[in-house]
Amino acid sequence: MAEWWGKYKNQVAMMLVALILVGVAFLVLFFNQQKEPQLEIISSQQEEQEMIFIHLSGAVEKPGVYEMPAESRLNDLLIRAGGLSAQADREWVSQNLNLAQKLTDGAKILIPKQGEAQTLFPNQSSSPQGKINLNRASLSQLESLWGIGAKRAQDIIDNRPYQTVEDLVTRKIIPQSVFEKIKDEIAVY
């Protein structure tokens, strides 16, 4: 054995040193992996959304004031309210409301019952003062206004209902210059 030890002493020592180095490297790597900080992934959906309030009344299953995300559409509100009631004037809704319209904060939306629309919205396209009602006017009535062609008239119809005549400018449907020329000829009711 002494002869063997003398012959292989350097090689055994190098193997022991190599084993010790491999063991130390393994332990260092193992413990470093456990100490690395964990990344926390935060979804962008967790950010707070801006909320708006809308008053929905009339012929819906659950009328009331609803808090909705700012980018909500009228259809989203109707779904949240349980949909139209059996008494709703569905024909009036399909002719006068744009279900894809974005909701605005503080708006009130009234869904009439069958036969109630004429009482709630008498003479819907023009007022006694001869003003054109933006919420009920036909395409041809809107086109009769200065600066309103077929495209703008359709945009006005597609973005109904309006709370004020100024909504035409704030929603960027018509420019301020056109609004100034027609503001005395239009109304919202």
Residue ranges and CATH numbers for the domains of the chain are: 51-120 (3.10.20), 132-187 (1.10.150.320)
Q: Indicate the pLDDT class of residue 166, thresholds 50, 70 and 90.
A: very high
**DSSP string computed for 145-188:** STT--HHHHHHHHHT---SSTTHHHHTTSS-HHHHHHHGGGEE-
CA distances from 36 to 19, 29, 40 (A): 26, 11, 12
The rounded distance, in Å, linking the Cα atoms of 57 and 135 is: 17
Rg (CA), the chain: 36
In this predicted structure, the answer to whether residue 21 has a pLDDT above a threshold of 70 is yes
**pLDDT range class, residue 75, cuts 50, 70, 90:** very high
The amino acid present at 45, given as its one-letter code, is: Q
Q: What local confidence, expressed as pLDDT, does residue 127 receive?
A: 46
Q: What is the pLDDT of residues 104-155, one digit of tens each?
A: 888 888 888 888 876 666 545 444 457 888 988 888 889 889 999 999 999 9
Backbone angles phi, psi at 11, to 5 degrees: -70, -40
| Sole residue written with tokens 């190098």 | 14
List strand residue ranges (DSSP E) for the chain, in order: 51-58, 64-69, 108-111, 132-133, 186-187
pLDDT in tens, 173-182: 999 999 999 9
CB 59 within 8 A of CB 87: yes
